[in-house]
Amino acid sequence: MKRWLIAAGVLVLIGGALRTYAATNDGKLNVATPGMVVEIEVRGRVAPVPPNREVPLPAGEYKVKRIKLHAKGVDAKGRPTIWRIECTKPLGKLATIEVTDGQTTTVEGGEPITVKTAVGISKKGAVKTVSVGIQFFGKAGEYYRPVVYRGRSLVPAPKIQIVGESGKPVSTGTFEYG
């Protein structure tokens, strides 16, 4: 019985030493932007890091796989809903995150969102086509796709109406994703 107690005591001491060693090689990651979930690769798997929580991680460099930016709002009928846009690449300054031993690494992205547009005109015979491209960039330079989700569903592409000088519609259409 005495030998068993000694062996158990030794195991407890070894476990405590390993725990202390592991704790000194850990850092923490904090996503400081409300509504922003950062998905990082940890040991070959994608792990979501939620906002406003310090998540313990082994010290090292992590690749960011995706960023999801969520916002609470209402739909067209006034019902509460969650809106989402996503970033896969380019990720700007958030492409990799370095977690330092014994430190908390804080990352920020998202708002304010900068919207850039590019307008192009092409002509095929008598038909002119105007294309308008929209790009959304977060404050860390991350690019959010111009695709919007409401809950889990893709929001239909917005419609456009071109109005002439007289105030009457000249043409209508629907934007296309992609």
Cis peptide before 112 (omega within 30 of 0): yes
108, 93 contact by CB (below 8 A)? no
- pLDDT tens digits for 39-89? 999 988 999 999 999 999 999 999 999 999 999 998 888 889 999 999 988
Residue 93 DSSP label: G
Structure confidence at residue 15 (pLDDT): 39
Q: Report domain extents, the chain.
A: 2-170
In the block, residue with structure tokens 């850990």:
26
Question: Nearest 5 degrees, angle CA 58-CA 35-CA 105?
Answer: 30
User: Where is pLDDT greater, at 13 or 26?
Assistant: 26
Tokens, residue 17: 């030493």
Structure tokens at 122: 């092409």
pLDDT digits (tens, 9 = 90+) for 114-171: 999 888 888 888 888 878 888 899 999 999 988 889 988 988 888 888 888 999 999 8
pTM of the model: 0.72
* Under 8 Å between Cβ of 22 and 41: no
Q: What is the mean pLDDT of residues 99-111?
A: 93
Residue 134 neighbours by CB under 8 Å, 6+ apart: 115, 116, 117, 146
Amino acid in position 164: G
Q: Is 85 helix (H, G, I), strand (E, B) or coil?
A: strand
